[in-house]
Chains A and B, each alone.
Chain A
Amino acid sequence: MAAPAPNARRAAFAPSLWQFPRRLVHPLILTFLTAALFSYLAADTVRAACLLAVGLALAWDRARPRAPLPSSGAGERGRGISHPVTGFSNESAEQRRAAMGRLLVPAVIAAVAYSSIVGWLQRYSWPATISVAIPCAFAVLIAWRVSADSQAEPERLTRAGIAAWAVLVAGASIWEVTALFLQPALSTDSYAHPTLSYLANPVLASAPGRSVVLFLWLAFGWHLARR
């Protein structure tokens, strides 16, 4: 697909800017902004900046006008701008899963090698940070790229069913945040009010433990990429 002409981009900028504050009001984007706030309060400035950047980038992406594709189904419309519902057709999802199925064995070998090597790196060190940040950046870029041009009507789920899971996730998050705020300080661990990170420390203290957790983390990412 050809890139829009510079004039078209300039013309699209003003409507995008107008839409931007409204597009911030989205459950997932608000989750990122809230997480950024808590990371900032916990003196975790770098991750707070990353979370904020992702939240703002998602809002900007939702605010950008897009021309509807001929195959587009239902979409949002407003102020003369079309916002097609981007998604994955069953065909493209099947193609992606088939391709990932063919790559499974090399991916497992690469994941075992990666986990074994990176697990030996000191936690919170720059080598570990860079080693973990590379697959993260790669995965986010791939997700952004893969979802750019696929459109299909998503499966309908009942509101009550979604609400049940949302309450569960919100409850677990509130429980974790409560434990975080009951610590003597946000950056000081507490035995009396352990966070999940604190509970994971004994496992992550050893190189084999880190390797196993890294492998499970990669496997979870692979599972998500197949959705």
Chain B
Amino acid sequence: MSSHNITLVGYLLFPALGIGLTALAHRPGSRVPTLGALSTRIMHGRTGRIAVVAWWAWLGLHLFSK
């Protein structure tokens, strides 16, 4: 398997694990929070809210700006 394909498998693996965690989170009595609950918790305070929005801004700038 080429290094290109190994890298791609890694990129696919993490979203797959994320889907697995989400499935776990939706089970009754699960200790794992959903991604929505986690992002709400992170964005509850000023530091987290601005950090998440700044990360979103960075993403747009990274893809399109100089």
Contacts and interface: CB of A to CB of B under 8 A. Distances in A.
Nearest to A31: B51
A213 interface: yes
Interface string A176-216: 00010010000000011110110110001000001001100
B46 A204 contact: no
A192 B2 contact: yes
B56 A47 contact: no
Contact of B11 (A58, A136, A196, A221): A196
Contact of A140 (B7, B18, B36, B54): B54
A97 B50 CA distance: 18
A182 to B, nearest CB: 8
Interface string B15-55: 00110010001000011110111111111111111111110
Interface in A112-168: 118, 123-126, 128-129, 131-133, 135-137, 139-140, 142-144, 146-148, 152, 154-155, 157-158, 160-162, 164-165, 168
Contacts of A144: 46, 50
Interface size bracket, A side: 35 or more
B61 A54 contact: no
Main secondary structure of the interface of B (DSSP, over half): helix
A211 B44 CA distance: 31
A220 B56 contact: yes
A126 B66 contact: yes
Interface residues of B, number: 47
A46 B62 CA distance: 11
A175 B65 CA distance: 24
A22 interface: no
A150 to B, nearest CB: 9
5 contacts: A61-B46, A87-B45, A140-B54, A143-B54, A192-B2
Interface of B: 2-4, 7-8, 10-11, 14, 17-18, 21, 25, 30-33, 35-54, 56-66
Interface of A: 26, 28-29, 31-32, 35, 46-47, 50-51, 54, 58, 61-62, 85-88, 118, 123-126, 128-129, 131-133, 135-137, 139-140, 142-144, 146-148, 152, 154-155, 157-158, 160-162, 164-165, 168, 171-172, 175, 179, 182, 191-194, 196-197, 199-200, 204, 210, 213-214, 217, 220-221, 224-225, 227
The 9 A-B pairs with the shortest beta carbon distances in the complex, nearest first, are A136-B57, A129-B65, A154-B44, A147-B46, A87-B44, A28-B51, A143-B53, A172-B14, A161-B32
